[in-house]
Structure 1
């Protein structure tokens, strides 16, 4: 009996450390349930996080700014959303680190649409460059929608002040404003834009990706996580990159033919997060770099545009919050980041 008890005690002592080592690290990811965040969701559904010993939960929002705040306040470990003036102001205070790319507006990929209300269409609004003299619903001044309007104004040679910007706080209110003809136009993700068009409440004018391609969003974390939890972030990014590669194989250049079996399978998984029919998810699949590589020059240009509008601190410096060491091969990296410690692994 004593021998048995001693053996049991020895086994418990030996196995206890193994149990401790097997405990998963928990990550709370803040995001918007849009196709632009698809690899985040696929990595969970396909078990890639679990394989990296990560237990992931999602916290969903209806606008970009609260996501940046949640990560800066360490209420979430990871954030994924479009870049905004508010994001850049927070990041400039050395609270956030951008570590990878989310979605990019790339020609041929129809994610964000310029949308006209039925009445505005009937009155002659047909193209994005005809927005001057009309009202445009956005979430808020300094939002990514504001930036898209500004980039369009630059590209087409008109002043953004020629557009009446209507702040509606949330994407859901932008949808309703178009449905009620309260604004002449807005910018919406494909699913919402196509739904409005199918019900006869709006018409699609064009695509942001075709007019002003740019780095829409990123994957970011707090400075604390980047400095103190590097191993956890590396495991997260390995899972994310695997899912991004799967997404690219299924949805990039999928064409007009019948969807592949992989595309069908991934679409079914994405419907657990994205409220849209399978064909809408397919048609509105945004471009996502398979390795999570950023167009760094685009981020610099965005910060400059917000500065010109008086919405970002004049001293804001992207080199403070861009940590390019987690992912190799970022695009258009300025010399200062190629030489800096955070950009040592980046490629021009």
Structure 2
């Protein structure tokens, strides 16, 4: 299709040249003289010009309007009117450019009639209209397909925007709770917590709205969040965040990991019991493995209603952004809640 679109101008030129020359290829031998060729050529040029005008009018206006409005009567009446014009032009050209006088082998004078030429022009007109309508129909379906694709892309973009909006307020709500807790304790870490929060909000406002961000920025965002959370931890609550592999050369959809980490801090810490959160991010051969393990201190109600919201949103975003290129497993085993996310990032290399 792209090749045809590229050379469609030449295809039109060749097609009309063949259309104009076809009558001369079918002329009987007794008409091959200068006067007859001139008369037939002028008649063919005039009639062909009218048919070509009808062809492009039908291609660009008549058939597209019919497909848009479905007004069949107007479509048919316009075609009949154009057919009448072609017939009249062909008959008029016969009398305006009369052929020469010819005699049969027996000496009888041949009588020429305009009606065979009119019939031939009508058939040519019908072929031209069918061809132009088919081309218009193909273009119409191509436009509809493009519109449907644009609508689908718009729907996906809207869904992604909605999911990001669902993630961000949830994250902000928990972070403000942490700062409120520090303020109630009159902790000296409150100011540092506000600074960390401003860094997180700056990332969410200016970087997370992009389709892709450098993986290093996403990791830095996780560090800021973990630092903010660690301000309220006691000696029995520890966090281990380890990053390995060539993370500098990759990009990723923003805010994919933060719901998992947020979920670990919200439901994996206990005030009286030892709690340890283990976070791993490993990159090898353009494949990323992100895992989180934490104790499961959730109640059945909280686990089913709250803790799964962020994970469910990330699962939907993964389906939209990494179809067939990710695996996500999570669940509780032996009192530990585990999350394991694998991403194929071969198409997310940073442009340098």
Q: TM-score, normalised by structure 1?
A: 0.24
Q: Which has the higher contact order (CA 8 A, sep 6+)?
A: 1
Q: Highest CA radius of gyration, 1 or 2?
A: 2
Structure ranking higher in helix proportion: 2
